[in-house]
Amino acid sequence: IFTVICQNKWVLLCSGCRNVLINALLCVPDVDECRTVPDPCRGDMLCVNQNGGYLCIPRNMYNYNYRPDPVPPEPVYPDTSVGFSDTFPPSRPRPVEPSYPRVRGTAPCILGYSAAEDGTCNDIDECETNSHHCNPTQVCINTAGGYTCSCSEGYWLIGGQCQDIDECRYGYCQQLCANVPGSYSCSCNPGFILNPDSRTCQDVDECEDDPCSHGCFNTYGSFMCNCDEGFELAADGTTCIDLDECSFSEFLCQNRCVNTPGSFTCICPPGYYVYEDGRSCEDINECDTGNNTCTTAQTCFNFQGGYTCLDPLHCDLPYIEVSDNQCMCSAENPACRDKPFTILYRHMDLSSGRSVPADIFQMQATTRYPGAFYIFQIKSGNEGREFYMRQTSNVSATLVLSRPIKGPREVVLDLEMVTVNNVINFRGSSIIRLTIFVSEHPF
């Protein structure tokens, strides 16, 4: 046993511990917890400072009188050079024990331990026996020879009470955080899922579940649906409904528009076909295609949206046929007096509702006589006054459509050219019998 002094304190060490503890005793200042820690020991316990710590022991253990035990004298060994003696000299007295207190008494174990039947000291679990003095909000943790009062995870000690830590204030969660007693819970916004770390969020590819009726485009935290051409997105944002293109404009198709899923189709009336643009209607020339019912004796005449079969020319008396479309009444025949000299048959087609005014037919004298002049007029067939003649020169005139005509309709006009020659006192006329086939449609 040897003694060292550090910070005015005596410390007893065994000689076998010198090399082990000498570095720990190089005068490292000890903290006197009995003075610096408020109320370190509870109840009727006395705080005893120790090097590097302290002990709480009952106060009555300090009431014992400490008396040094009798110290036997150290033996004196005789000088063997002169022989052995039968008696031993009295031993020298032992040094007096140190004056610091030593716990003595009937208690065989230190505070925090209890004696077992085999004489060993077992730790007392104050937490299990409920002999601790922890606050109800605290948690008792048993230690060797004592216990510690602590707070559960998620709480901190404030004013001797364990209060919940609001972890959400420290940004533990990437998106949504809900504080709960002693902990917290992270969650994610719609369109995200919580990662295995229970803190960060990962985008959900909603398109993998095919939420859209047509196309899907994933975005960060959401998705967008798009529709094929001819469809539009419904109010729910996922389904596609057909666009009725025909309702956009009445001019989308030249005749009739039929809506189809995602598109539309233009329909033309009988006698027409859909043009290359898919919208316009073109007339089918039944006379060229042979798709007509005319006989070999008849002549097929095509007009917009249809055709007609013209019978062979038949001239009424006193007219005689001079060609396949002209009848003549000879001046030598008395029955031809005051009758037109010739009747020429012509045919044309006209679209229904054609814009006006419109020049639709020209008439011109083929034979000119010196001193003669010509008068052009509509002799018959213009009861509705849809037409008039405009003379463009001394020998020509134009038939003008002045009012729109709705079809289908067939109009026969007798256009008369009157020849007047005052030199020879001559007045005669010729007629063009113009048959106009007005189509049912304006194309």
132 in any annotated domain: no
pLDDT in tens, 214-268: 999 999 999 999 999 999 999 999 999 999 999 999 899 999 999 999 999 999 9
Same domain, 277 and 175: no
Residue 62 has pLDDT above 90, yes or no: no
Return the pLDDT at 46: 82
Range of the domain at 171: 167-203
N-to-C CA span, the chain: 131
Q: Which tops the pLDDT comparison, 14 or 43?
A: 43
Burial class (CB in 10 A: 0-12, 13-18, 19+), 199: middle
Same domain, 360 and 427: yes
385 within domain boundaries? yes
Does some domain include residue 416? yes
In sequence order, the 6+-apart residues with CB closer than 8 A to the CB of 204 are: 191, 192, 193
For residue 416, pLDDT over 70 is answered with: yes
Does the residue 276 lie in any domain?
yes
Cβ–Cβ under 8 Å, residues 253 and 267: yes
Q: What is the mean pLDDT of the chain?
A: 84
What is the distance between the alpha carbons of residues 411 and 348, in angstroms, rounded to a whole number? 10
Return contacts of 123-130, CB within 8 angstroms, 24+ apart: none
Residue 131 lies in a domain: no
Beta bridge partners of 410: 437
Q: Look at residue 338 and tell me whether its pLDDT is greater than 50.
A: yes
Inter-residue contact 229 to 264 (CB < 8 Å): no
Instruction: Please give the model's pTM, rounded to 2 decimal places.
Output: 0.54
Note the pLDDT of residue 135. Answer: 81
Is the pLDDT at 4 greater than 80? The verdict is no
Whether the pLDDT of residue 29 is over 80: the answer is no
pLDDT tier, 402 (very low <50, low <70, confident <90, very high otherwise): very high
Q: Are strands 426-438 and 342-350 parallel, antiparallel or unpaired?
A: parallel
Domains contained in the chain, number: 4
Residues 6+ apart with CB under 8 A from 230: 242, 243, 245, 261, 262, 263
Residues 349 and 420 in one domain: yes
Least confident of 179-193, 334-348, 362-376: 362-376
What CATH number is attached to the domain comprising 427?
A: 2.60.40.60
Tokens 């902990």 locate to 183
- 83-87, 340-344, 393-397: segment of lowest average pLDDT: 83-87
User: CB–CB of 154/164 below 8 Å?
Assistant: yes
- Within a domain: 155: no
| CATH (domain of 177) | 2.10.25.10
pLDDT tens readout for residues 154-205? 898 888 789 999 999 999 999 999 999 989 999 999 999 999 999 999 999 9
